[in-house]
Structure formats: C-alpha cells, structure tokens
Structure 1
Amino acid sequence: MSPAPPSILSAKVLVPFVLTGVIWGSTWFVITGQIDGVAPSWSIAWRFLLATPAMFIVARMMRRPLSLGAKGQLLAVAIGIAQFCGNFNFVYRSELHLTSGIVAVMFTMLMVPNALFGWWLLGQKITRGFIFGSLIAIAGISLLLIHETRTAPPLDVAGAGNVGLGIALAVGGILCASIANVVQANETGRALPMVSLLAWSMLYGTILDFALAWFTAGPPTFPTNWDYWGGIAWLALAGSVVTFPLHYNLVRQIGAGRAAYNGVVTVIVAMLLSTLLEDYRWNALTIGGAALALFGMIVALKARHPVPPRPVAAGGE
C-alpha cells in the first residue's frame, strides 16, 4: 500500500500552500504598478528577462535535465507563445480597464476552458458537479462585473476604464493560459520535467515579448522609480520562480485536486489588496458575487476529473 498523503494542516504542506496563495494573490495588484505610464509589453519583457535565467538555475538546482528533444522544444515554443507571450500581454492590458482583484476572480474560470479543451483534445471527462459549480461561479463573477461596469469612470483619451474591453482582454488571457495548460498535458509534455519545460517556454516567450514590445511600443523604456523594478523582481522571482517549485511539490504531496484549492487563498488575497489599495467598494451586489464565485469554485474543484492537465500557470500572474 502507498502511504497516505500528508495532512494539509501539517507544516510542510500548510506553509507552501498558504505561501503560494499569498504570493500569487499579490501578483495581480503588483501588475498595476507595471502598467502605470509604462508600455505593458516592455514590463512583461523585463519581467521574463529576469525570470528565465532564474528558472534555468532552478532546473539545474533540482537536477532536472535541460534537454527536451525536438518534440519537447516544439512544445516549449507553443507554450511560450500561448502562456508567456499571449496570456501575459492580454492580462496586463486587461488591468488597464478592470480592478486587479476582479481579473483574479475571472481567472478562477480557467478551469472551465481547461476542462473543455481536455475533453475535446485529451478525452477527459467532465462531471455534472463540475458544470454545476462552474455555472455558480460564473453567476457570481457576472455580478462582480455588473458592479465594475456601474462604477467605471468615464473613458479617458487613452480609453482606460473600458470595462467591456477589459473583460474581452481577460478572456483572451484565460484562453491562452488554458491552451498552454492543455497542450503540455499531451504524451510529450508529461514525459518532460516540468521545471525544464517551463524554463525553455519562458525563453521562447521572452524572445517574443521583446519583439512584440519593440513592434507595438517602440524602443525599450527604463523607468527610474525603484518600486517599478522592485515589482519586476517580485513578479519574476517570487511570482514565478519561487512559487512553481513549491506548487508542484504540493501536487506531488497532496494531489493536483487538493493543491488547486490554494486558488481560494489567491482570490481572497487579490480582493483584499484591491480593497485596501485600489479603493474597491463592497456592497450587497459585490459581496454576493464574491461569495457565489468562491462557492462555485469550491464545488467545481471538488467535482473535477482526478487527472486534470498539469497547469503551467496556476493561481497568479
């Protein structure tokens, strides 16, 4: 008999569980400082210019082989395009129009396209409980978005505050992240060390990020404020390099389903930061929406298929 998984209340599980949730919850707000007067694409490029070599170092420290083979490299290119270029460029731009905590709540719905793509491409089953929980969560998110629309400021010259555009951009980010999640869950991806696959995917995504930034925003910009570069370091190192190994160790210890519940911590932290630092106002509509979204997420996670795709990005941005 295989040993029983450790209790989630044991220190070796609880500490990384809470730590990853808190760090990922903070990343949504930190992004707001990366798009304040700076082209989003350049902020993304600087972030992954720092994160990529750090991820290669982590792979070596974990003694994971860096050779992926031809199929593995092609898979890394696909993940780099979808996750580390498409997803992040959509998300950063969505936060020009939506409160960061709302974008975080929207991303709890990543499990829906994950399940649909997994059913379509990998033959994974979708349970009735998962559908029921997802519908509850979508209803809650809809209430939050209705409030966001009602309280949005008038559009400025740059178009900031366009809630509809923010929703569309966030959905684009969710779809890109979901595509990355599902394509790496094929036979080739499951045979590769996740940290090594992430490192190569980040490298290809970073190359594309620099090309996109130069094409859309011109030559690179170098902000002089220390908090901008502090945010870059936090997002690159804490938000990506520290949390991924912790998260995948949790998956090995307690299983992917139970580890996914740190998404609840992530959303709570993200909304708390929006309340404290973005002056997010709560009322009956938003309280009900947040409660429904969290409850639906929990119901859906409890009913999810026991072998979901390994996420290349879980919980935060």
Structure 2
Amino acid sequence: MNATLFCSTVLIWGTTWIAIAFQVGPVPVLVSVFYRFALAGLMLLALLALTGRLAVPARRDQPFVVLQALCLFSCNFLCFYKAAAFVPSGLISVIFSLATILNAVNARLFFGDPISRRALLAALLGAAGLGLLFGPDVALGFDAGTLTGIGLAALGTLFFSFGNMVSRRNSAAGLAPVVANGWGMAYGALVLLALIALTGTPIVAPPGGRYVAALVYLAAIGSVVGFTTYLMLVARIGSARAAYATVLFPIVALTLSSLFESYQWTSTGLLGVLLTLAGNAVMFSGPKAPARPLTPAARASV
C-alpha cells in the first residue's frame, strides 16, 4: 500500500507541471490558484458528502485545518508561482526537493523524531542529482531577480514542510487526511479570494478549452488525488520519507518535457537522474521501521 501511494504521488505531481504551463496566459496567478483550489475543495467535499464520509472538524481542530490551508493550499503555491517569474521552473524543483531535509528537521523540532543518517544521505543524493539536472539553468544568470526567485521558492518549500507537520498533527488527532484536505482546500480558496479582493486583482474568465482542461486536471488529479495520497503517506511512513516524492517527481516532469517540449538530455542530466534514483534506493533500503498505528479515522481514509 505504501509503495502504491508513493508511486501515485510521484506520477501525479510529476505531470502537473505540464498542466500548469498550459495555464500560463492572461489569467493572473492569484486567480488561477484560486480557481484550482475552489474547484478542488468543492469536488472533494461533494465526494465526501455523497459517500457519507463528510465530517466537520472539531472546534479544537479548526485552527489547525486553517493552518494547513495556509501552508499547503494557498501561501506555498503563491510563492512558487511568483518565483517562476524570476527563475526557471527546474531551479524551483531543485529548491522544492529540499523539503526532504526540511521535513526531517521540522519533525525533529516538533515531534522529536530522530534524523537518521540514511535520510540525510538520501536527501543529499537527491538534491545533488537534481542540481546536476538543472545546473545549466543556474548558470544562465545570477542577479537580484534570481535571488528573489530563490527566496520565494525557499519560502514556498518551507510553507510546504510546515503544512506536512500540521497534517501529521491532524492525522494523529484522528482527523482523516481526505476530510482535512477537503476543508483545507475550501479554506485556502477563501484566503485566496480575500487576497484577490484586497489586492484588486481582476478575475479573468478561463480563456479557452486547454486552460479549462488543465484546471480540471490540476484540481481533480493534482490536488484532490495527489494531496490525499501524499498526506496519507505522511500519516503512514512519516514526513521525512514521504517527502522524498518531491525529489522524484521532477524526473517525471522532465520525461514529459522531452516528449512534448523537446527537452534535450545530456550526460550531466543522466548522471543527475542516476544520483536521484540512488538516493531513492538508500531511503527505502535496510530494515523497515515499525509501522505506526493509525487512528480509526485515518484508517478509514485508506
């Protein structure tokens, strides 16, 4: 089951970059992200209601669901989309891969988890591999705009890692990941709508069929399915190991790019892929850690 969740997350998030590229155009970033999570939240909450699994989080859990919404379904994506205006998406993927290290550190700070040598070695191999993959992008230029993009991407990755910690807390409190995701996406959409109003950002209608198709894919598959499989994985194997999916999904994106965008593979890029796969082997080799017991609500979501 863990392997299925892991592979699903990698494949889903690896394909979302092409869909995001299809949304680039006249619709402001803030509005595009709002469309995505408003639609995803409605879809997931409706699905939960139809299957009889919709539950309102307890009052004590509501602040943490809002915090999860801020970290995973609004602020982090705004940072990543804004960063894309300053640095190549490949470099953003490299920075995002550092979520493996941030999750290990934050799990130590918030939950007292030990940081294993295996996790550190795997994270370093993965980050080094992606550095080789996207090294040419970094070499293109390093100016104030690049620093801004790196800072925004790093901030988005930090938000993502904090969101992992909040999700872990919510799962431990008995809140099923799909329920937390449904309400979190809805709350995230409300936050984005408030930002649209405060900034006076014009709400532009979807411009065409390709945009709409990309939006539906990002909402239904990239958000509803992708975040649910990932956060279920966090609840089952821990945030440090689950975050290694963030290292692997750019490889899927590169494969699609070579098919649809004429991406040219190089010997350096191939070495980067091999290093990343080696990190994956290190992370999942050796004796398995004892499985953590799931709460009844979390078990019901699997």
- When normalised by structure 1's length, the TM-score is 0.77
Shift of 1:214: 3.6
**106-115 vs 24-33, which moves further:** 106-115
The aligned residue for residue 63 of structure 1 is 52
Give the aligned partner of residue 256 of structure 1: 237
Q: Compute the displacement of 1:34 (Å).
A: 2.1
Distance 2:65 2:23 in 1: 26
Mapped contact 2:171–2:177 kept (Cα < 8 A): no
Question: Unmatched 5+ residue regions in structure 1?
Answer: 311-317
- Pick closer, same or farther for the CA change 1:242–1:146 going to 2, 3 Å: closer
CA shift, 1:102, in A, is 4.8
Give the letter aligned to residue 273 of structure 1.
L
Write the deviation string for residues 6-35 of structure 1: whole angstroms up to 9, x where unpaired. 9x6xxxx5xx76554333211022112223
Identity %: 30
Aligned residues: 290
Structure 2 portions without partners, runs of 5+:
295-302
Q: Which residue of 2 aligns with 1:142?
A: 131
Correspondent of 1:268 among 238, 245, 251: 251
**Counterpart in 2 of 1:235?**
218
Q: Which residue of 2 is the match for residue 79 of structure 1?
A: 68
Partner of 1:117: 106
The aligned residue for residue 221 of structure 1 is: 204
Change (3 A) 1:182 1:133: same
1:200 to 180, 183, 208: 183
CA RMSD across the alignment: 3.4
Match of 2:118 in 1: 129
Q: Are the aligned partners of 2:251 and 2:273 in contact in 1 as well (CA < 8 Å)? A: no
Alpha carbons of structure 1 residues 202 and 248: separation in structure 2 relative to 1, 3 Å = closer
Asked if 1:293 corresponds to 2:271, the answer is no
Aligned CA distance change for structure 1 residues 119 and 180 (closer, same or farther; 3 Å): same
TM-score when normalising by structure 2: 0.80
Given the alignment of the two structures, is residue 211 of structure 1 paired with residue 194 of structure 2, yes or no?
yes
- Give the conservation status (yes or no) of the 8 Å contact 2:33–2:78: yes
Q: Does the CA-based 8 Å contact 1:95-1:103 persist in structure 2? A: yes
SS for the counterpart of 1:222 is coil
2-side partners of 1:286 and 1:151: how far apart? Answer: 16
- Contact residue 248 and residue 276 of structure 2 kept, 8 A: no
1:21 aligns with 2:7: no
Contact 1:99–1:274, Cα closer than 8 Å, also in 2:
no
Equivalent residue number for residue 313 of structure 1: none
Report the alpha carbon displacement of residue 93 of structure 1 after superposing the two structures with TM: 2.2
